[in-house]
Structure 1
Amino acid sequence: MTSRSELAAWLRLLLTPGVGVESARKLLAAFGLPQAVFEQSHAAWQAVVGTRAANALDSPPEPLEAQVDRLVAWLAEAQHHHVLTLGDSQYPAELLQMADPPLMLYVLGDVNALHHPRRLAVVGSRNPTPQGETNARQFAQALGEAGVCVVSGLALGVDGAAHDGALLGGSSTIAVVGTGLDRVYPKRHLSLAHRIAAQGAIVSEYPLGTPPLPENFPRRNRLIAGLSQGTLVVEAAVQSGSLITARLAAEQGREVFAIPGSIHAPQARGCHALIRQGAKLVESAQDILEDLRFTACAASEPGTPSVEASCTTEDELLHAMGHDPVSLDALQARTGMTTAHLQARLLELELSGDVARLPGGLLQRQAQG
């Protein structure tokens, strides 16, 4: 568990006015963890981030101690309250590949949900048509029944329907929010938020107490895209936050899917624009499962310790191996499995004769019969 002094150092780096995320990353790259950053001289800071940021670092921000007290108290409230720093082993690897990963992630619920091997973002309009809301819920439920973890933003409309559908499908779901985790926005999703925390996770990069500021919501969209292997847009106007999420997903090399709608519906125009730009038109959840090679599997029961065990099949692992020699690291990157689980699965495949170990630590799928 992260100590109070470590949390204080991370929060100081995060909350100091005039020190943005880019400068913070430069300081971490130069000096290591935040505690080491604040052991450096003013001149050392200045050499890395310039005079203005170095001057800001000279004194702790005024609300620092209150924020540390608040965070420590929040973490002590319940076992399902977590904070992950950029240097934490449980920090999602996919976010580390982004240009601007959050320095801290606050998590309410099951941290393991962030490492689910199958994650799909489902996003769309806050004011969907009745059919659009039904589509979001039905697609998410079908994906949940196939063992997919649905990622969305807890907003009204499509987001809420997607979370609800995933829960109805028996799978976990992740809500990425634009407020501190000690408040729920919108308030009408309070009951839904409790269900998500019990069967998945609510995630924020914003400190406790952060209100629903308009600028935070477009920014949180990059995390929705970053945590997912693909993004499904259900309904969206041409100028829509959902299209920001889709664009970010495409920039990160993730698949983008869109459900077509009526040519007369404004909420369908964003999806049609995405399809013209290369997004994949889908008519059923099965289209997505096949495209992402998510073979159907039973969703894990709430409280199951490991999501991988219920959602990664032997055939899927063999498919990820291909037929050429592959390293353990490459295989882990392809599957998203933890090292321990991957090693256990590979041992089973070795014993069954489906996989052989080669010199240099490489593995290769064996032809059968």
Structure 2
Amino acid sequence: MTLPRPLSDAERLDWLRLARTQNVGPVSFAQLIARYGDAGKALAALPEIASRVARGKSITIPPTDQIAREIEAAARYGAQIVASCEPAYPALLRLLDPPPPVLTLLGKASLAAEPTCAIVGARNASAAGRKIARDMAAALGKAGYVTVSGLALGIDGEAHAASLASGTIAVLGGGIDHVYPGQHDRLYAAIAEQGLILSEMPFGHRARAQDFPRRNRIITGLARGTVVVEAAERSGSLISARMAGEQGREVMAVPGSPLDPRSAGTNNLIRNGAALVRDARDVIEVLSSLPLLSVSAPPSDWLAPVHGDDAVIPASELARVREALSPHAMPLDEIARAAGVSAARAGAILMELELAGEALTYPGGLASRSV
């Protein structure tokens, strides 16, 4: 792993321009940096990639002045923009494969370096679930843990409110300045003053439904373990639990009545191996057995860089990988096997197809056809 280093102003502009480029997600960003060495060289290579792959379509790269305005707007708001290669970037999040390229931080950035635990759950939480979340967050705070959640109604809001004094981190689905839901405007203001708010999205971005899985990935990535208090059988909290497991983080769940549909998801998590926790003491027992940083899944070999002649992709290989893609996300090794190429090669090809708007790549080694 490369040692963290601060970026110069020019490097920051390039890094942010690449991160904000059309169709560049965390996986494609990591591929581009691995292939070209830095963001400036990657930006210079994008037109050539577009001419080879995009079949007449161009890749929209934000101009420098647009990115400069974003940096200035964030600074006026009191926030800072941090790249994943910089020392101020949360260390646990940097271990993700790959990490979000850029974060905007508002508040006490040092909280992300403290022992952390995520608490998530149902928006339409029961009175009992809300009390469990409050009591758990408050007790974890007294024990020295910072609570991480998503500022949603229900369990998230209770966990944040109960841990304001001890330390809480709210991860947003929209830009750092977009308070969602609006009912949490006062809680947002309190966290901005006493805790930490962060977002992967550009300043001014309004959250859309497709942004919340990325937000959930950051919530679990910031924490050594995730507690699910209440969750229906199909809910965002279960997506968070799955992501935590994929990241090598501990998944914990509070059991509930089999008669309450809000407990169906948590009970299934326990049945499938999640740690059963009743209160903060159970959570601390689980967390105290974990190392501070060595909790991430092993890196994906398909993010290995390609250089020189290997970076020149024949049209026949491009066509085979394109043909192997499904509308449903499939493991990278399955796509590579169907296309008759190595996993690393398939990853490089998928990066180019994603830039062309023909593929979607996901953290965890999955990809699909863009629909």
Task: Give TM-score, length-normalised by structure 1.
Answer: 0.72
2:97 corresponds to which letter in structure 1? A
- Larger C-alpha radius of gyration, 1 or 2? 1
Alignment of 1:115-126 (within 5 A): 115-116=113-114, 118-126=115-123
Q: 1:89 to 1:228 in 2, by over 3 A?
A: same
* Offset, 1:215: 0.8
> How far apart in 1 are the matches of 2:22 and 2:258?
48
8 Å contact from structure 1 (residues 22, 100) kept in 2: yes
* Offset, 1:42: 4.9
Alignment of 1:332-343 (within 5 A): 333=293
> How far apart in 2 are the matches of 1:31 and 1:114?
30
> How far apart in 2 are the matches of 1:264 and 1:102?
39
Of the candidates 138, 158, 161, which is equivalent to residue 158 of structure 2? Answer: 161
Of the candidates 191, 197, 202, which is equivalent to residue 192 of structure 2? Answer: 197
2:98 alignment partner in structure 1:
100
> How far apart in 2 are the matches of 1:100 and 1:268?
32
Q: Count residues with an aligned counterpart.
A: 291
Residue 231 in structure 1 maps to residue 226 in structure 2: yes
1:89 alignment partner in structure 2:
87
1:307 alignment partner in structure 2:
none
> How far apart in 2 are the matches of 1:68 and 1:222?
27
Structure 1 SS opposite 2:131: helix
Structure 1 SS opposite 2:87: coil
Alignment of 1:52-201 (within 5 A): 52=54, 56=58, 60-61=61-62, 65-78=65-78, 81-116=79-114, 118-167=115-164, 170-201=165-196
> How far apart in 1 are the matches of 2:176 and 2:55?
28
2:53 alignment partner in structure 1:
51
Instruction: Tell me the alpha carbon deviations over residues 209-268 of structure 1, each in whole angstroms, 9 at most, x when there is no partner.
Output: 111201111221111111101111111101011011111111222211111112211111
Which shifted more, 32-41 or 4-13? 32-41
Structure 2 SS opposite 1:151: strand
8 Å contact from structure 1 (residues 18, 53) kept in 2: no
* Offset, 1:55: 6.9
2:54 corresponds to which letter in structure 1? R
Instruction: Tell me the alpha carbon deviations over residues 270-320 of structure 1, each in whole angstroms, 9 at most, x when there is no partner.
Output: 1100110011111221111122228xxxxxxxxxxxxxxxxxxxxxxxx97
- In structure 2, runs of 5+ residues without a counterpart are 1-5, 296-371
Instruction: Tell me the alpha carbon deviations over residues 24-57 of structure 1, each in whole angstroms, 9 at most, x when there is no partner.
Output: 22221122231233355855x57xx963399745
Q: 1:261 to 1:178 in 2, by over 3 A?
A: same
Of the candidates 193, 197, 201, which is equivalent to residue 206 of structure 1? Answer: 201
2:243 alignment partner in structure 1:
248
> How far apart in 2 are the matches of 1:189 and 1:291?
31
> How far apart in 2 are the matches of 1:124 and 1:203?
19
8 Å contact from structure 1 (residues 4, 68) kept in 2: no
Higher RCO, 1 or 2 (CA under 8 Å, sep at least 6)?
A: 2
> How far apart in 2 are the matches of 1:32 and 1:54?
27
* Offset, 1:142: 0.8
Cα RMSD (Å): 2.7
Structure 2 SS opposite 1:175: strand
Of the candidates 13, 16, 23, which is equivalent to residue 8 of structure 1? Answer: 13
Task: Give TM-score, length-normalised by structure 2.
Answer: 0.72
Structure 2 SS opposite 1:38: helix
> How far apart in 2 are the matches of 1:15 and 1:283?
42
Instruction: Tell me the alpha carbon deviations over residues 183-218 of structure 1, each in whole angstroms, 9 at most, x when there is no partner.
Output: 211111111112112222111100011112011112
Structure 2 SS opposite 1:264: coil
1:304 alignment partner in structure 2:
none
> How far apart in 2 are the matches of 1:141 and 1:261?
21
Structure 2 SS opposite 1:221: helix
1:327 alignment partner in structure 2:
none
1:263 corresponds to which letter in structure 2? P
- In structure 1, runs of 5+ residues without a counterpart are 295-318, 321-331, 336-369
8 Å contact from structure 1 (residues 19, 53) kept in 2: no
